[in-house]
Amino acid sequence: MPHMRRRSNLFLLLLVVGIFVLSAALIMLMTRQARAAATPDIGLPAGATCEVIREKVAEHGKAASLAWAIKQGFSLAQIRAARRCLK
């Protein structure tokens, strides 16, 4: 009955791999939701709030603030999110 033993080993291997994949997917989903809950201003650079952005733009002007953001390497999506704070 070596054939039966091989099938049961294969079944156990597939079961372990399946549990691992499901666990990994669940962990990734939970951490993604935790990160989304931790950052209420989705799309803004880390640590930035609309209040801070409005204050700095008022202090330095739109052009200088945009040039600074580009120089610092912020993405266009982050710059767009920051612009939404100014409306």
pTM score > 0.75 for this model? no
CA pair distance 72, 3, nearest whole angstrom:
63
pLDDT tops 80 at residue 13: yes
Annotated domain spans of the chain: 1-38, 41-87
What is the per-residue pLDDT across 30-86, written as a single tens digit (0 to 9) for each?
776 666 555 454 578 777 888 889 999 999 999 999 999 999 998 898 898 899 888
Cα torsion through 28, 30, 33, 38, rounded to 10: -110
| Structure tokens that stand for 68 in this block | 């600074």
pLDDT tens for residues 15-32?
Answer: 899 898 888 887 887 776
pLDDT at position 57 is 93
Q: What is the pLDDT of residue 26?
A: 79
